[in-house]
Amino acid sequence: MGRILGLCFKFAFWLLLILIAAIVLYRFVPAPSTLMLGRWLTLRSVEREWVPLAQISPNLIRAVIASEDQRFCSHRGVDWIELNAVMEDEDGPSRGASTLTMQTAKNVFLWPGRSYIRKGLEIPLAMAIDFAWGKPRVIEVYLNVAEWGEGLFGAEAAAQRYFGKPAARLTTAEAARLAAALPNPLLRDPAKPNRALQSAAARTQRRVGQLGTLGDCAVPG
């Protein structure tokens, strides 16, 4: 029994070191998502072109913040206000409380699907990358690993496929459609939006207007 416990502690220790090393490494180099790694391992195609944040339209940065995490610039990786509200709600498991930082932690380090174990791991990872990377890098990684279609990852590849232009040139309407597609990227086509996507994009544009300067922490100066 003692030997097994010792092996478990060693495994946990080395896993922690690997995570710390990856967090430091991904502060500087392009990060893949676990979905991308899974597709590569199973010999499926991946369409992604990493671009720095300066080459992504501020329209998309603000749209994603407004749509997914309006307190992104004020929290430290975890929105405790929203998380506490979900925990106190008896319908909590069906609601979302993931910040953009938590989604980035999940996309880069964890697995898809919902579980309390994964959510429990998301929280410390989100706090760690918020501290180590800062807001601009978090949103840069998020926008380069987010899934926007089958085998389609990142803002640049999505902008090219759906609108035939680089991510730097996205309009407010195009950015709103891309942001509104994120909750269900396999079924929502920003180039041919159905009524549900058009409605969600309109809500996103209204939220961008309400956001004001609260979304500027991740917009390159």
Beta bridge partners of 153: 147
When the pLDDT of each residue in the chain is averaged and rounded to a whole number, the result is: 90
Percent residues over pLDDT 90 in the chain: 74
Task: Determine the Cα–Cα distance for residues 76 and 86; give it in Å rounded to an integer.
Answer: 18
Per residue in 30-87, pLDDT tens?
A: 999 999 999 999 999 999 999 999 999 999 999 999 999 999 999 999 998 887 776 6
What per-residue confidence (pLDDT) applies to 94? 40
- The arithmetic mean of pLDDT across residues 157-165, rounded, is 98
CA distances to 1, 53, 97, 143, 144 from 22, in Å: 31, 20, 25, 18, 17
Q: Where does residue 28 rank: exposed (0-12), middle (13-18), buried (19+ CB within 10 A)?
A: exposed
196 pLDDT tier (thresholds 50, 70, 90) = very high
Domain 31-218 has CATH 1.10.3810.10: yes
Domain ranges of the chain: 1-30, 31-218
Per residue in 51-60, pLDDT tens?
A: 999 999 999 9
Asked if the model's pLDDT at residue 2 lies above 80, the reply is no
Beta bridge partners of 181: none
With residue 149 as reference, give the H or E element that holds it.
strand 147-149
* Between residues 214 and 89, the one the model is more confident about: 214
Task: Determine the Cα–Cα distance for residues 137 and 159; give it in Å rounded to an integer.
Answer: 20
Task: Determine the Cα–Cα distance for residues 30 and 141; give it in Å rounded to an integer.
Answer: 8
With residue 148 as reference, give the H or E element that holds it.
strand 147-149
Least confident stretch, 15-29, 74-88, 182-196, 198-212: 74-88
pTM for the model: 0.92
CA distances to 153, 157, 159, 171, 217 from 74, in Å: 27, 29, 28, 26, 9
